[in-house]
């Protein structure tokens, strides 16, 4: 299949946008936003609560990642004329649920800035492919599975407290998934809200429709935060977002300029970090939704669906304070179930990838167990140590013997 190259030309592509946008593309863009708001967004809210952030600080964080998503998605999609989504990295937010409490917000923002600069350097130097090849994929998959494990377990930790709510949400999720719904967590949200309302556990009286106010926080740079937050955030973004995101666009028929995309997203993440944003990335599942032939049979018009998604994200992000007050009225069990179910597919694929190859299984297992331990050593969190331990075991367990090289004309070739 011949891949469609990017068609750079911002103003020309912007003029073509009204003709390229279809009703199916408009709906696909809205579905992308629903997926983000019924799963990954709750991870951000959990991280803010676990990190002890005030509601104003969490609102600013939410504003940064949602509006940042919208603006970067619209710019990149129009500039390259490809369906490019720039969401906040869910794995990064999950990492912060367990790690953010160990640092102050200025220290975390310093780490966010370093991670964003790391993306700029990786994209500008063109070492994306080299970095992907150097970091063992199984170790990264094991590390990601370990970070996300607590969310999967969290589903069943709240089961004794709300057996009806949790069971109903699980059943609805897998029934909708069996029917191949694009956003099964949306169905979980609806059913969960209905059950919580009937049982009196839903409290949305405090919902206030108001615009979010971003807050600027100056960074502090701390070595422990660089190792515990910046390094894992950068590696997770490259390996679990940009790599599969590029693969999704390639499978849809696009030759995505991943290095240029990475530079733009890294540069865009820098000002957002001052507002609390932990960075943006390249979408995989979400890009697949707007790059589908269902959006348009014409490859050159599908970028409009991504632009519609960006517009929706920007609109919703401006009302971040309202979103937070709405979710604050949810029972804790419902939040835990939605978060866990929304990450269940990522947990499954990560575990599968980690254990797929026997030669790297030990290293992946060590990374998984270490990251799942949720400990801190010398002020540095478990994800960093999981990465170090996994890579160390990978090199330790590599076969020492050299491969046998058979020369042309050798009798071995004639057997």
Question: Per residue in 18-62, pLDDT tens?
Answer: 888 887 788 778 778 877 776 778 888 888 888 899 988 998 998
Q: What's residue 399's pLDDT?
A: 66
Question: Per residue in 168-188, pLDDT tens?
Answer: 989 988 998 888 776 787 788
Mean pLDDT of 250-259: 84
Q: Which DSSP string do the residues of 134-149 spell out, in sequence order?
A: HS-HHHHHHHHHHHHH
Question: Per residue in 273-316, pLDDT tens?
Answer: 999 999 999 987 777 778 877 778 888 888 998 999 999 899 88
pLDDT of residue 107 exceeding 50: yes
Tell me which of 9-23, 49-63, 200-214, 359-373 is least confident: 200-214
Q: What's residue 139's pLDDT?
A: 85
Beta bridge partners of 54: none
Measured CA to CA, the distance from residue 51 to residue 45 in angstroms comes to 10
pLDDT of residue 401 exceeding 50: no
Mean pLDDT of the chain: 83
Q: What's residue 217's pLDDT?
A: 94
Question: Per residue in 50-94, pLDDT tens?
Answer: 889 998 899 899 899 999 999 999 999 999 999 999 998 888 888
Tell me which of 193-197, 207-211, 227-231, 369-373 is least confident: 207-211
Give the three-state DSSP class for 266. helix
Q: What's residue 215's pLDDT?
A: 92
Look at phi and psi of residue 211 and say left if phi exceeds 0, alpha if psi is from -120 to 50, else beta: beta
Measured CA to CA, the distance from residue 355 to residue 359 in angstroms comes to 9
**Are residues 146 and 371 in contact, defined by beta-carbon separation less than 8 angstroms?**
yes
For 234, what's the count of Cα atoms within 13 Å in the CB-facing half-sphere? 25
Q: Residue 6 CA to chain centroid, in angstroms?
A: 24
Question: Per residue in 128-147, pLDDT tens?
Answer: 777 766 778 788 888 878 87
The three state secondary structure string of 166-223 is HHHHHHHHHHHHHCCCCCHHHHHHHHHHHHHHHCCCCCCCCCCCCCCCCCCCCCCCCH
């Amino acid at each position: 299949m011949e891949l469609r190259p990017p068609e750079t030309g911002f103003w020309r592509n912007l003029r073509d946008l009204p003709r390229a946008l279809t009703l199916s593309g408009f709906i696909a863009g809205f579905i992308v936003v629903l997926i983000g708001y019924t799963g990954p967004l709750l991870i951000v809210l959990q991280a803010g609560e676990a990190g002890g952030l005030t509601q104003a600080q969490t609102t600013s964080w939410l504003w940064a990642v949602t509006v940042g998503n919208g603006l970067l998605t619209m710019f990149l999609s129009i500039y390259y004329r490809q369906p490019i989504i720039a969401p906040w990295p869910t794995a990064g937010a999950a990492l912060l649920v367990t790690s953010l409490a160990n640092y102050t917000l200025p220290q975390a923002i310093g780490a966010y800035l370093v991670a964003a600069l790391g993306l700029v350097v990786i994209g500008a130097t063109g070492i994306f492919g080299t970095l992907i090849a150097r970091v063992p994929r199984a170790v990264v998959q094991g590390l990601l599975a370990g970070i996300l494990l607590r969310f999967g377990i969290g589903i069943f930790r709240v089961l004794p407290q709300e057996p009806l709510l949790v069971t109903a949400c699980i059943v609805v999720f897998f029934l909708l998934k069996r029917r191949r719904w694009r956003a099964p967590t949306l169905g979980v949200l609806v059913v969960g809200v209905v059950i919580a309302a009937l049982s009196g556990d839903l409290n949305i009286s405090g919902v206030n429709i108001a615009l979010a106010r971003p807050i600027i926080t100056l960074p502090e740079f701390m070595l422990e935060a660089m190792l515990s937050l910046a390094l894992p955030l950068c590696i997770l973004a490259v390996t679990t977002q940009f790599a599969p995101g590029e693969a999704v666009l390639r499978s849809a028929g696009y030759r995505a300029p991943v290095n240029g995309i990475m530079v733009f997203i890294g540069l865009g993440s820098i000002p957002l970090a001052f507002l609390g944003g932990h960075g943006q990335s390249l979408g995989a599942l979400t890009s697949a939704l707007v790059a589908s032939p269902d959006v348009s049979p014409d490859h050159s018009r599908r970028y409009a669906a991504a632009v519609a998604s960006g517009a929706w994200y920007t609109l919703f992000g401006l009302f971040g304070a309202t979103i937070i007050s709405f979710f604050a009225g949810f029972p804790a069990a419902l939040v835990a179930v939605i978060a866990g179910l929304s990450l269940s597919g990522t947990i499954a694929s990560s575990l599968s990838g980690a254990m797929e190859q026997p030669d790297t299984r030990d290293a992946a297992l060590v990374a998984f167990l270490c990251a799942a331990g949720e400990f801190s050593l010398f002020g540095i969190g478990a994800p960093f140590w999981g990465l170090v331990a996994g890579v160390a075991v990978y090199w330790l367990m590599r076969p020492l013997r050299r491969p046998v090289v058979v020369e042309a004309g050798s009798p071995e070739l004639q057997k």
